[in-house]
């Protein structure tokens, strides 16, 4: 799905992200949305309400703890509050980055929210998602659908729990909802992203935006230019952009492509993925020359993604022989994908990277069965639910987003202690879920809570210092990651996965791979 500057949304939001992105070009694209308006919701919660205490989630603290093999002055861990490590110093002055309009970003504000005053947090919903997904013929599991359609009640439950336990450092949280119209967003991303940014920053005066629907990453340049942090799930982003927007962008559950793609390629090569494939029978063929094709949106972030793939493969002696790029927008997808299938088939491409959902369908209609490499940016589980099974034989990948990578039935219901804490919070406030639907909501809001606790102040500069001091970070929806001054995208581990014809689904194999 398309998100602003080519950022990807996915993971637990795979239904929004992959309905758009699978149809478009892979879950990590840039879509813009049109909002049905915004409005503040007072989230005062229930005084002394039930649920687990604030310390059942979060990080270890101490920047050194985020480094493998390093010691830390911080303490705490999974069942502790944010640890006692000293937050990183935050340099003064303006950011080296530029705003969406080309000017310098403002320095993170040191203004502290007045004692006892509420904190307004913007959040996103996608009310027309089900209708849109049905209209484009993309479906998801019940939990995937719930992770989108139930965003509002899950977010209200999370905020009620925070407020019942003292708010954020004594400040009650109020919510400012922006409901994205996905059908409009898919056609005109920029206008919708701008409208959302304006609503949150000028109408609602939000302290920060929590992108619970995973559709607002494209608003980052606008939000950053106005000094408003964005806590985002599963972005397609590189380290240069993290550096550019450093005070204002956080992702508790994704990796930068700079860390992810090189490690992913190394694993695919080690697994002998690129060893020849018969595209007529869809079976291995050592006698068939390896020819790799990649397709992607033509924008700066997707070009970085593709160039990383090409350079890493070249390092391992594998050449990308064909590349298809295309502009954003649903109106471009059908014809461009058909052309990609015809071109790859004519050029004898045997392995395909980053195929969208239309590619699989068009390839089958042409009797063309290449081997596909997938990643968490694409959303393999949604691909498995919607693409022809015959096309997916032999497909493999590496993933850091468990509930978006593989069949959730093959995973534990609670991946980490934070998963259990999230369920307990939801049950305490009327959202009695036993699956992974609420995990993203919990992870995003818990990051803001724990970062504020670590810095002991509610300001944008405090969020930066506190977030960068968290170190080891435990989330509900993926494996342990870490935050540090150079790590605002916290995911750290991935696993091998492959298509299993017996269940027509993807399943993990092997142990976790540590990207460092």
We report the CATH number of the domain holding residue 167 as 3.40.50.2300
The string of pLDDT tens digits covering residues 192-243 is 999 999 999 999 999 999 999 988 999 999 999 999 999 999 888 999 999 9
Token duo for residue 29: 């694209």
For residue 413, name the pLDDT band (cuts at 50, 70, 90): confident
Residue 393 to residue 379: CA distance in whole angstroms: 17
Model-level pTM?
Answer: 0.83
Q: Is-contact 368 4, C-beta < 8 A?
A: no
pLDDT at 330 over 70: no
253 vs 4, more confident: 253
Q: Which of 143-152, 214-223, 479-488 has the lowest mean pLDDT?
A: 143-152
Q: What is the pLDDT of residue 301?
A: 86
* Torsions phi, psi for 314 (to 5 deg): -60, -40
**Residue range 427-447: average pLDDT?**
90
Note the maximum CA span of the chain: 72
Average pLDDT rounded to a whole number, residues 124-143: 71
pLDDT score, position 42? 33
Residue 442 has pLDDT above 50, yes or no: yes
93 pLDDT above the threshold of 60: no
Give the DSSP letter of residue 458: -
pLDDT tier at 141 (50, 70, 90 boundaries)?
low
Residue 447: DSSP 8-state = H
Residue whose entry in the numeric block shows the structure tokens 């996608």? 126
What is the DSSP secondary structure assignment for residue 387, as one 8-state letter? S
C-beta atoms surrounding 511 within 10 Å: 9
Task: Determine the pLDDT at residue 482.
Answer: 94
Q: Distance between alpha carbon 364 and the CA centroid of its chain, in Å?
A: 29
Mean pLDDT (the chain, rounded): 81
Write phi, then psi, for 482 (nearest 5 degrees): -160, 155
63 lies in some domain: no
Specify the 3-state DSSP secondary structure of 64.
helix
Q: Is 382 inside a domain boundary? A: no
Average pLDDT (483-504) is 96
In a domain, 362, yes or no: no
Say yes or no to pLDDT of 83 above 80. Answer: no
Supply the angle between the helices 129-136 and 142-149 in degrees, to the nearest 10: 140
Residue 238 to residue 494: CA distance in whole angstroms? 17
Residue 81 has pLDDT above 80, yes or no: no
Beta-bridged to residue 296, according to DSSP, are: 325
Q: Which domain holds residue 449?
A: 11-55+99-254+417-461
Distance CA 265, CA 311 (A): 10
In a domain, 470, yes or no: no
Other CB atoms within 10 Å distance of the CB of residue 53: 10
Structure tokens at 35: 């909002």
Label residue 501 by pLDDT band (50, 70, 90): very high
pLDDT band at 331 (very low <50, low <70, confident <90, very high): low
Please count the structural domains in the chain.
Answer: 1
Residues 106-127 pLDDT 10s:
999 999 998 889 999 999 998 8
Higher pLDDT, 316 or 150: 316
pLDDT at 458: 95
Predicted pLDDT of residue 142: 58
Q: Is residue 394 part of a domain?
A: no
Mean pLDDT confidence for 431-438:
82
Helix, strand, or coil (residue 188): coil
pLDDT at residue 128 in the model? 78
* Residue 75 pLDDT level (bands cut at 50, 70, 90): very low
Work out the angle at residue 237's Cα, subtended by the Cα atoms of residues 244 and 205, and round it to the nearest 5 degrees. Answer: 65
Complete edge-to-edge strand list for the sheet that includes strand 320-326: 320-326, 292-297, 351-353, 371-375, 396-399, 493-500, 505-514
Tokens of 243: 């550096």
Whether residue 211 lies inside any domain: the answer is yes
Q: What is the mean pLDDT of the segment spanning 8-25?
A: 40
pLDDT digits (tens, 9 = 90+) for 281-303: 999 999 999 999 999 988 888 99
267: helix, strand or coil: helix
Decide if 491 is inside a domain. Answer: no
In a domain, 197, yes or no: yes
pLDDT at 179: 95
Q: What angle do CA 328, 333, 338 make, to 5 degrees?
A: 140
Helix axes 14-24, 357-365, angle to 10 degrees: 50
């Amino acid at each position: 799905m398309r998100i602003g500057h080519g950022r990807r949304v996915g993971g637990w939001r795979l239904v929004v992200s992959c309905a758009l992105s699978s149809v478009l070009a892979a879950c990590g694209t840039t879509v813009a949305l049109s909002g049905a308006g915004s409005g503040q919701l007072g989230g005062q919660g229930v005084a002394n309400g039930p649920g687990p205490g604030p310390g059942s989630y979060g990080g270890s603290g101490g920047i050194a703890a985020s480094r493998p093999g390093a010691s830390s002055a911080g303490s705490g861990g999974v069942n502790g509050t944010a640890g006692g490590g000293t937050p990183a110093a935050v340099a003064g002055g303006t950011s080296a980055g530029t705003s969406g309009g080309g000017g310098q970003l403002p320095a993170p504000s040191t203004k502290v929210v007045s004692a006892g005053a509420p904190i307004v947090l913007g959040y996103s919903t996608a009310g027309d998602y089900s209708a849109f997904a049905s209209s484009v013929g993309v479906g998801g599991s019940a939990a995937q659908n719930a992770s989108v359609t139930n965003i509002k009640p899950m977010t209200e439950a999370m905020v009620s729990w925070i407020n019942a336990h003292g708010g954020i450092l004594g400040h009650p949280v109020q919510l400012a909802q922006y409901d994205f119209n996905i059908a409009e967003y898919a056609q005109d991303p920029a206008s919708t992203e701008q409208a959302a940014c304006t609503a949150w920053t000028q109408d609602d005066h939000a302290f920060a935006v929590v992108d619970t629907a995973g559709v607002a990453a494209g608003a980052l340049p606008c939000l950053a230019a106005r000094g408003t942090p964005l806590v985002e799930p599963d972005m397609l982003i590189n380290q240069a952009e993290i550096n550019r927007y450093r005070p204002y962008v956080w992702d508790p559950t994704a990796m930068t492509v700079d860390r992810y793609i090189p490690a992913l390629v190394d694993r695919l090569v080690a697994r002998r993925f690129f060893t020849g494939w018969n595209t007529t029978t869809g079976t291995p063929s050592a006698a068939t020359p390896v020819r790799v094709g990649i397709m992607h949106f033509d924008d700066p972030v997707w070009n970085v993604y593709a160039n990383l793939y090409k350079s890493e493969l070249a390092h391992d002696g594998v050449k990308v022989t064909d590349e298809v790029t295309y502009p954003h927008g649903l109106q471009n997808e059908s014809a461009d994908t058909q052309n990609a299938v015809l071109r790859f088939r004519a050029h004898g491409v045997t392995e395909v990277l980053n195929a969208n959902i239309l590619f699989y369908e068009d390839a089958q209609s042409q009797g063309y069965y290449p081997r596909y490499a997938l990643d968490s940016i694409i959303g393999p589980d949604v691909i498995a639910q919607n693409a022809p099974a015959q096309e997916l034989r032999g497909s493999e990948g590496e993933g850091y987003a468990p509930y978006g990578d593989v069949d959730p039935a093959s995973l534990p219901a609670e991946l980490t202690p934070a998963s259990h804490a999230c369920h307990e919070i939801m049950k305490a406030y009327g959202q009695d879920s036993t699956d992974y639907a609420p995990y993203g909501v919990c992870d995003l809001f818990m990051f803001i809570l724990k970062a504020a606790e670590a810095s002991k102040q509610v300001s944008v500069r405090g969020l930066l210092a506190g977030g960068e001091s968290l170190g080891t970070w435990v989330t509900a929806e993926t494996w342990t990651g870490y935050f540090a001054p150079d790590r605002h995208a916290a995911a750290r581990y991935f696993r091998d996965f492959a298509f299993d014809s017996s269940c027509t689904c993807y399943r993990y194999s092997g142990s976790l791979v540590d990207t460092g």
